[in-house]
Each structure stands twice: as C-alpha cells, then as structure tokens.
Amino acid sequence: MIIPTGMSAKEIVNDLKENYAKVRRLLDEDSKNDPEEEPYFSKYKAKEILKNMYGVLCNMQEAGSGLTKVQIDALKGIVLLSIGTIDMETDEYTSCEKALKEAEEVLLPSALAPEVIILLLNVLNNLGLLWSFRGQPEKAKGYLLSSKKICEDFKATLLMPVPIETILNIVTPKEETSLMDFMSLEKAHTLTLYYLAQVYGALNECVKAAIYCHVTLRRQLMYNDYDPIEWALNSATLSQFFVEQNGFYQSRYHLSAASTILDQYETELLESEIHDEEYLARKETFKHRSADVARCWVKYCLLLMSASKDRLMSDAESVTDAITDLSNLTLEDDENICGGDMKRLKFLDLNVSKYEEKITDKYLLTYEDAREVFICCQRWLNIAKDYYKPDTLASDHIELVQDWSQSYAYLAFFEEDDERRAKMYKRRVDMLEDLLKELNPTYYLLYCRQLWYELGQVYSEILNIKLEKLNKLKEKPTPHLLKKINMLCEKSIESYDNFIASVKDKNGVMPIRLDSDVVKPAINAYVHIGRNSMKRIAVDKNTHLSYVKKSYESYQGVVDICKNDPEAAKMMKEEYALCQEMVNILPLKIKKLEKDLQA
C-alpha cells in the first residue's frame, strides 16, 4: 500500500480499513474460486496487500490517527497473523514462523489488553500448530499452555475483548457484537484445548489427551458451537480410549452422550419440512454415523464381556472389588482440567440416563449379567448391519459378523450347560460359514484367513464338549456321537488347513520366515491339527495310520518354522517344545502301526 504524500492520519486509517476489507474478501471468498493451475493466487495477492499494510503501520504515529499504541500494535498483530496463516496454508513454514514470532513479540507486552487478547491467543495457537506440523510436540505444548494461561488471566479481569473491526470502525460496538466478541475469545480458547489434546497424544500422555478432548467437547456444547454429527462421532471415539483402559464408567457415559446428541439431531431432521437434496444428504450422513456410533457400542459390549472373562479366569477372589471407573488412576492435574477426578468428566445439562440405564458399566459375574450385555450388543449390531450391507460395504460387514460371532463366544464362556454352549458355538459356525460362502479369497484373503482360523477354533470348542460328554458316558457311545466327533475333528482340521494354505506361497511352500503377525496363529493352527488328528476315532488300522501321519506332519510344521526363525521359537517356546517331543515320539508309533499292518 503506497501512501500518497500529504495523506492525513485519518485518511491512512481509512486506507487500512479498505485494504483489510480487500484482504478478507480475497481470503474468504475469492480464494475458493482460484484456478487449479494457481491454487494460491488470491492468498498471494492478499499477502502482498498485508505486507504493504504492515509497512504503513510500522511508520504510523499515535498523534492524529485517533489510535492508541495498543491499537496500532493490535493492527500489526492481525496483519502478521494473517501473513503467518497464509504461509502455513501454502506450506511456507520458515516464513510462517518468522511472521508469527514477530506477531508474538508485538502483542505480548499488552497481552491482557482487550484489543490484543483474541489475536494473541490465535498467534500462540498457530505457533503450537506449526511446531506440531514440524514434529516437535513438546515445543508446541509450551505455546499452547501459554495461550491457555493468558486466556484464563484475561477472563479474570472481567473485561470484554475488542475485535479489529471495532478498532478500524468497521463495526460499532453493540450488545450483540460484544457477545460475538466474547464467543470469539471462547472459540480461540476451545481451539487451544483441542490442540493440547493432539499434542498430549503425540507425547503419549494419553490420559491427559483424553481429558482435553472431553473438555473440548464440553465447551462446544456449552457454547452451542458444534456440528451434531461430528460431535457425536468424536464423543464415541473418545469412549473407545476409555474402554481400552477398563474405564467402562467413562466410556458408557461418552457413548450415551453421543447417542443422545444423535437423537436430538434426528428429531430436528424429522421436523424438517423441506426434503431437498441437502436434506437427503444430511439423512444419509446421519444413518452412516449412527451406524458408526452403534459399532462403538458393540466394541463396548465386547470389551466388557472380554474383560469380565479375563478377571474371572485370573483372580476369582477379588472380582467383586473390580474398579471400572478409572478412579484408581493417578493423574497429575497441574493444569486444572478436571481436578484430578476422572469421574468429573461430564457434560453439563445433557441428560444421558436413557442410554446409561440400558447397560451396566460393572464387570459381569454371572450368565444373567452377560446375557443382558449380549442382548444389548445384538441391538447395536443390527443397527450397524442395517447400514453396512455385504453388497455395498463388504469389509465393514465382515467385521460386524466377526463381532457378532465374538459376542456368542463370550456369552458361551458364562454358560455352564454344555449342550447350550455347544448350540452357541454352532450358531457361530453357521454365521462364519455363511459369510465365507459370500467371499472371494482372491479379493478378501486376509478376512478369509481370519475366518478359517476362527472356524478351526470354534469346531475345536464343540469337539471338546462332545469328547467330554463321551468320557462321562458309562454305557457304550452311540454311532451318531462317534460320527459327530469325527466330523468335528475333520471340520476343524479342514479350517486350519485352509488357514495354513493361505500362508504358503503359490507353490504350496511355507516361507522360510513368516510375518510376525502370522507366526502365532500359524503355529497354533499346526498344533490344533496335530491334536485333533489324534482325536479322530479310526475304524481300522489304515485309517488310524493316516491320522497319526497327519498329526506328525503338523507337529513337524511347527518344528520347521521355529528352526528357521529363532524369534518364533522364542515367542512360542512351550508349543515348540511340545512339537519337538511329538516329532520324536510319533515316528515310533507310525513304525509300529506299519509293522502291524504288514503282519
């Protein structure tokens, strides 16, 4: 901006006002229509105007301008902040840092001035964001904590912030504009807390990150500054962190909040009288995200059942004292975010009892406890499956069926009646085999591999129940039971064989070294084939010999894997030792059977 000689201070201020309006128009409107070959055309144009404005401001005197030094510094701050923001958006991080650091130096001496506060918070937030981009979260944290403290100090003064538009006389201060200015301050502060959540996540201070996420969500609700779908999804996502820490109290609460906000949004949708394309798009987004929140509820149910099972198996004497609300967690709350009390993570004026009352947040002790959670899980699964259908969203549908199968597995653990347990496992078999029929291994090999392995496990579980029944019989077993046992052995072996075949190369040869995520299941598959081969009931010696040979080959498969991979041998030490023993023993049995056949 070139100033003609003899311009009065008042004219200079008017020129600044006009140029600032041009900058805003370029950044807020024109930049959206920039050509693909020059995507930053409007931004660069705005940057040139801003540079000229900054030159004028550096030479401006208080006398005659009608502006105080603080106001002139505030104008310098908004210009430098705007330049820094443009540099960040155009990936020019070095010049971005230079502009933002200069803005910080200009504004910091008047940090608590109403004209400066919002600008300074945005400058510090952007410096935090910049250092996050550069992979230095510790440095980013320093700027963000500084922004947090300055905002809290300003609010203690009970003053109202003054925006740049007021300084330039673009708007006249009124009651409603003052409220908007206050909201701008709160919005900048919310952004600080949101960035702190990300930074603490990067620093692996996950609990603090989660708490800052909660505070961000709470403030968005408090100031009615949120998109309902996005808010619900973020709250449900946060619940997943808590549930993984066995914080079922906090997880259930955040899921309930997500579902409550979705209910409110659905009511708003149903009341809409205009059913145009935008409405249909909103409806589709609602259905999609409702399915996602339902999936988070499914994970909650599965993890509650899983954690309850683990506790019952590990320490049956202390299960009644189990803590599920993270109240045993020590939190150094030197930033005063929740008073160190994890139970205080609540959203004011949001009644979530409708959903909290549907499911417990305590560990399960009995079949009746587990059944209630199981039924709740089925409801959420049905909502999710209604959206994630096999013909449109196959991968998601497969994962939902796997979750469905897992829910039966956990319920079966709590069931004491063998026949009913066997029926639950049979239900799993049906759903997994039906799913496999729909899948082409060429395109869904990893999923097929998981399903084959799971089927091998389920058939083995049913087999063990039937063998236990056989061992308890006092009279001679029926041919039907013997046939059933053989069928279960064969089905389990077939499923594990399919899994192992999927790990081998195109020539059917096992790789010298397996990928680390395949080692454990591959060895377990071989071990189960070896065991189940020996559990088959043979009607003649030839058949018996073939079963023993199959068992030997499977145990040898484990020995080969572990000999070629010392890490695998170390990881599966017990299984390796067992298989080495069986590889030494079974040849003697094979020779004896062959000798008997020749006799």
* Averaged pLDDT of the chain: 90
What mean pLDDT is predicted for residues 13-41? 90
In this predicted structure, the answer to whether residue 235 has a pLDDT above a threshold of 90 is yes
Contact in structure between 166 and 180 (CB atoms under 8 Å): no
Contact in structure between 535 and 486 (CB atoms under 8 Å): no
Closest of 215, 186, 185 to residue 200, by C-alpha: 215
What mean pLDDT is predicted for residues 279-294? 96
As a whole-number percent, the residues of the chain with pLDDT over 70 amount to 93
Highest-pLDDT range among 35-39, 452-456, 469-473, 505-509: 452-456
Tell which phi-psi region holds residue 390, choosing left (phi > 0), alpha (psi between -120 and 50) or beta: alpha
pLDDT at 356: 96
Length of the chain: 599
- Show the DSSP H helices in 7-68 as ranges: 9-28, 41-59
In this predicted structure, the answer to whether residue 117 has a pLDDT above a threshold of 50 is yes
Residue 122 to residues 100, 109, 159, 166, 410, Cα–Cα distance (Å): 10, 16, 18, 18, 50
Of the pLDDT bands very low, low, confident and very high (cuts 50, 70, 90), residue 319 is very low
Closest of 412, 471, 261 to residue 349, by C-alpha: 261
Chain centre distance of CA 196:
18
Instruction: Report pLDDT digits (tens) over 538-572.
Output: 888 899 999 999 999 999 999 999 999 999 999 99
Instruction: Report pLDDT digits (tens) over 129-172.
Output: 999 999 999 999 999 999 999 999 999 999 999 888 777 776 55
What mean pLDDT is predicted for residues 390-402? 93
User: How far, in Å, CA of 512 to CA of 505, rounded?
Assistant: 11
Residues contacting 290, CB < 8 A, separation 6+: 262, 266, 383, 387
Residues contacting 562, CB < 8 A, separation 6+: 523, 568, 569, 572, 576, 579
What mean pLDDT is predicted for residues 360-374? 96
Helix (H) and strand (E) counts in the chain: 22, 0
Of the pLDDT bands very low, low, confident and very high (cuts 50, 70, 90), residue 339 is low
pLDDT at 223: 92
Closest of 109, 111, 88, 108 to residue 99, by C-alpha: 88
Chain centre distance of CA 247:
15
pTM of the model: 0.88
pLDDT at 2: 44
Looking at domain 1-187, its CATH class is: mainly alpha
In this predicted structure, the answer to whether residue 336 has a pLDDT above a threshold of 60 is no
CA atoms within 13 A on the CB side of 442: 1
Secondary structure of the chain: what % helix, strand, coil (to 5)? 75, 0, 25
Domain boundaries along the sequence of the chain:
1-187, 205-416, 504-599
Instruction: Report pLDDT digits (tens) over 499-515.
Output: 999 999 888 899 999 99
In this predicted structure, the answer to whether residue 473 has a pLDDT above a threshold of 90 is no
Structure tokens at 360: 């417990």
pLDDT at 5: 47
Residue 12 to residues 52, 58, 74, 78, 379, Cα–Cα distance (Å): 12, 12, 16, 17, 67
As a whole-number percent, the residues of the chain with pLDDT over 90 amount to 74
Taking the chain, what is the end-to-end CA distance rounded to the nearest angstrom? 109
In this predicted structure, the answer to whether residue 188 has a pLDDT above a threshold of 90 is yes
Q: Which of 11-15, 402-406, 419-423 has the lowest mean pLDDT?
A: 11-15
In this predicted structure, the answer to whether residue 105 has a pLDDT above a threshold of 80 is yes
Name the residue with higher pLDDT: 26 or 317: 26
Q: Which of 125-134, 147-156, 179-188, 527-536 has the lowest mean pLDDT?
A: 179-188
User: How far, in Å, CA of 191 to CA of 148, rounded?
Assistant: 10
Mapping DSSP onto H, E and C, the string for 107-157 reads HHHHCCCCCCHHHHHHHHHHHHHHHHHCCCHHHHHHHHHHHHHHHHHHHHC
DSSP 304-345: HHHHHHHHHHH-TTSGGG---SSTT-----TT-SSTT-GGG-
pLDDT at 1: 43
Number of CB atoms found within 10 A of residue 7's CB: 12
Contact in structure between 284 and 292 (CB atoms under 8 Å): no
Of the pLDDT bands very low, low, confident and very high (cuts 50, 70, 90), residue 315 is low
